[in-house]
């Protein structure tokens, strides 16, 4: 069963916002949802900055491990969205 339309819309908006944070932090015009963090030139300082900005965006605490383990905007978005909607064990 697919997610309701409103839920899909919120997830797409979250992904767009996270991609914008990645692009700005990494000094790029844009970042695609499946581009790899390390391949984009990301380092530990970038990871900390991105994680802090996403925490501010969603008003939730995240571990830097989220970015390092998911490695893409889409992966990070999936994790954050699941956390916010209560679909993950906390």
CATH number of the domain that residue 12 is part of: 1.10.1200.10
**C-alpha to C-alpha distance for 48 and 63, rounded to whole angstroms:** 9
Which residue range forms the structural domain that includes residue 43? 3-83
- Measuring CA to CA, which residue among 31, 34, 6 is closest to residue 17? 31
- pLDDT, tens digit, for every residue of 60-79? 999 999 999 999 999 999 99
- Provide the number of structural domains found in the chain: 1
**C-alpha to C-alpha distance for 89 and 48, rounded to whole angstroms:** 23
Contact 79, 70 (CB under 8 A): yes
Cα separation of the two ends of the chain: 24
89 inside domain? no
Ordered per-residue pLDDT tens for the chain, 90 residues? 466 777 888 999 999 999 999 999 999 999 999 999 999 999 999 999 999 999 999 999 999 999 999 999 999 999 999 999 886 544
| pTM for this prediction | 0.89
88 inside domain? no
90 inside domain? no
79 inside domain? yes
């Amino acid at each position: 069963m697919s997610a309701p339309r409103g839920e899909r819309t919120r997830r797409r908006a979250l992904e767009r916002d996270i991609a914008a944070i990645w692009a700005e932090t990494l000094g790029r015009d844009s970042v695609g949802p499946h581009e790899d963090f390390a391949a984009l030139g990301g380092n530990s300082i970038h990871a900390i900055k991105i994680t802090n900005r996403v925490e501010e965006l969603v008003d939730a605490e995240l571990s830097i491990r989220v970015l390092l383990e998911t490695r893409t905007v889409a992966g990070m978005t999936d994790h954050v969205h699941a956390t916010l909607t209560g679909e993950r064990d906390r």
